[in-house]
Amino acid sequence: MFEACADPSTLEGLGWLACFLTTGKHLAFYGAFGTVLLLLAITAPTALAFGFGGAMAARAQFAPLRWFGKGYIAIVRGVPDIAFFLFFVIALDQGIEYLRHKVKCPDWDQPIRQGSDFLVCQAAKMPLGNSPQWVHETYGFALAVLTFAIVFGAFAANVLFGAMRAVPRAQLETAESYGMSPRQSFWRILVPQMWVYALPGLSNLWMVLIKSTPLLFLLGVEDIVYWARELGAAKTPRFTDYPHGDWRVWYFLALLVFYLAFTRVSEIVLGRLMTRLTRGQATMAGEAQRKNA
Amino acid sequence: MTCLQTIQDYGLRSLGIGERLLPRDNFTLCDQFTLIGSGMLWNVYFGLLALVSGFFLATALGVGKASPNPLLRKPSEWFIFIFRGSPLFIQFFFGYFLFLTLKQQAAFFDPFSAAWLGALVVLFCNTAAYTGEIFYGALLSVPKGDIEAADAYGLSGWKRFRRVIWPTMLRLAWPAYTNEAIFLFHATTLVFFSGFPAVQQKGDALYYASYFADKTFNPFVPYPILAGYFILLTLIVISLFGLINRRLNRHLPQERRQKLRLRPNLIR
């Protein structure tokens, strides 16, 4: 990157380090932090939407829809989430390919599952075998986002379901007595009031979401864990201009610090948000704020 | 090959006893149930030992964090913050590479780079931090009247802690601690997916489940089996903790006894 870095073998000390930390691969490593933040930025709203849908389904009048909603929420209990991550990535991939296969190759007569193989016609492959690298990467990333959204949507659904039930019953009865339909009282009375009850659960979920981002590595995305392992491993002079021993422990220390800092900042921001939201609310925290003012 | 034969061959495969080669094709349901069940031995081992050993450190951390002396409080606070604020996945990686580096300095650290000890140390610290925070919260909500009563009886220092404060703290913390125990058992599935290698394919339940999913390219069989095993394990944990909860609350009038209320488990 710098001109001084042209011949690394002559460098020493800080100069060497500065050159070492700005190699192309290191820049990719720094970019991977962006990948993680991007994942969080996309997943959080998506999971919230899934959660909202799940909570609405769990409250539905129509019984099968209600069972579906409750079942979706119930999967968060009892089973390790990492199993869901590993499961959904393959299951989604196969599901998409299966559907495309049904649409694009209707006259295919062989079975799709042949022993240990999952065979669909060439046109149904996702992404297509001849598509460029970035399509493959984006597809992998999209699958990861969808998986995260499904798993965390179940958590969010549980939180929102509880929050909807926490809104005082009298509020809804008042809405009914004003002649609002169930739909109107849901959107105009329940939804605006539930957020203050949902925020503690949602902020906990956000912390958990941050801490689960390293699992991206398991889903095959080139994230910070991937690069930390890659860059930290011992390098011999044959393959690189910057030979070094096994430095993985330092790279993972850096990741540890990154996550700690991120969690701390989130804690502070969410604390402020909570103070802001409780202002004027008829809760204990709101009452305490009023007395202190 | 009958199912009994499979169980003999693979029942203890995760410990390295029995048939060395894993099945390569024609996977039967029996194969999958046996091997994944065999892997559960590791999950139970990690969960149980970390839980029992972590309990003691957690008590110390909880008391330390509530202590007015900054020399005790600060280290506890930092320990809890570091292990609760960072992903367990990264902690495993960091722990593994740390032990690898230490191994080169001193032979004493040799066994630490293997999963059975190294991962256990990481899990121990992790659960101690989470539980310590729970105990700290419980310690703050010990009723003032209990402590005054203890003072009135002339109890002080260690005796007061051992006979009044500690049992009350446990009683208050128990529902949350049950959740933490369930969490911990789920977290044990991460061991072989992070730094620690599964030597000679001696892995835990998830390791074998993903082995089958990779080989058959069909996730719809092994993962539900794994889920079934974990639901079973969760139910056992809940009922055992429920028994202890009953004992901790036995002196209270019937209607004031705390029922175990379980919140959903989140990943760490």
Contact A252 B206 (CB under 8 A): no
**Tens digits of residue pLDDT in B25-69:** 778 888 889 989 999 999 999 999 999 999 999 999 999 999 999
Q: Is A215 on the interface with B (CB under 8 A)?
A: yes
* Inter-residue contact B222 to B206 (CB < 8 Å): no
Buried b (16+ CB within 10 A) or exposed e, A91-116: bbbbebbeebbeeeeeeeeeebeeee
ipTM for the complex shown: 0.81
Give the Cα-Cα-Cα angle B94, B96, B101 (nearest 5 degrees): 95
Q: What is the pLDDT of residues B193-239, one digit of tens each?
A: 877 888 888 888 999 998 888 888 888 888 889 988 988 898 899 89
SS3 B256: helix
Q: Looking at the predicted structure, is the pLDDT value of residue B262 above 60?
A: no
Residue A265 confidence (pLDDT): 93
A117-118 and A113-114: which strand pairing?
Answer: antiparallel
Residue from the list B186, B210, B218 with its beta carbon closest to the beta carbon of A86: B210
pLDDT for B10 beyond 90: no
Name the pLDDT band for B265 (thresholds 50, 70, 90): very low
Structure tokens given for B172:
């208050």
Cross-chain CB nearest to B217 (options A77, A118, A217)? A118
Q: Is A276 touching B (CB cutoff 8 A)?
A: no
Instruction: Judge whether B213 and A86 are in contact, CB under 8 Å.
Output: yes
> Do residues B100 and A233 lie in contact, with contact meaning Cβ atoms separated by under 8 Å?
no
How far apart CA A120 and CA A125 sit, in angstroms, is 7
What pLDDT, in 10s, does the model give residues B157-177? Answer: 899 999 999 999 999 898 889
Using only C-alpha atoms, chain A has a radius of gyration, in whole angstroms, of 25
Q: Please, what is the Cα angle at A149 between A147 and A152, to 5 degrees?
A: 105
Strand ranges inside chain A, DSSP E: 113-114, 117-118
- Contact B61/A at CB under 8 A: no
Gyration radius (Cα) of chain B, Å: 22
Closest by Cα among B42, B40, B41, B20 to B222: B40
Residues B175-184 pLDDT 10s: 889 888 988 9
Does the distance separating the beta carbons of A113 and B268 come in below 8 Å?
A: no
Pairwise CB contact (< 8 Å): A76 & B265: yes
Q: Which two tokens stand for residue B122?
A: 């990481």
Question: Residue A115's pLDDT is what?
Answer: 64
CB contact under 8 A, A90 and B213: yes
**pLDDT for A189:** 86
Neighbours of A190 (CB within 10 A): 18
The pTM assigned to this predicted structure is 0.84
Hey, are the CB atoms on B206 and A81 less than 8 Å from each other? no
Rounded Cα–Cα distance for residues B252 and B258 (Å)? 9
What string of pLDDT tens digits covers the 293 residues of chain A? 566 676 666 667 777 777 777 777 888 888 888 888 888 899 999 999 999 999 989 888 888 889 988 888 877 666 777 888 888 888 888 888 888 887 877 777 777 776 666 777 777 777 776 777 788 888 888 888 888 888 888 888 888 988 888 888 888 899 999 999 988 988 988 888 888 888 888 888 888 888 888 887 777 777 888 888 888 777 777 767 777 777 888 888 998 999 999 999 998 998 888 888 777 666 667 777 778 77
CB contact under 8 A, B267 and A211: yes
**pLDDT tens digits, B132-153:** 999 998 998 888 888 899 999 9
Residues of chain A neighbouring B230 (CB-CB closer than 8 A): 78-80, 83
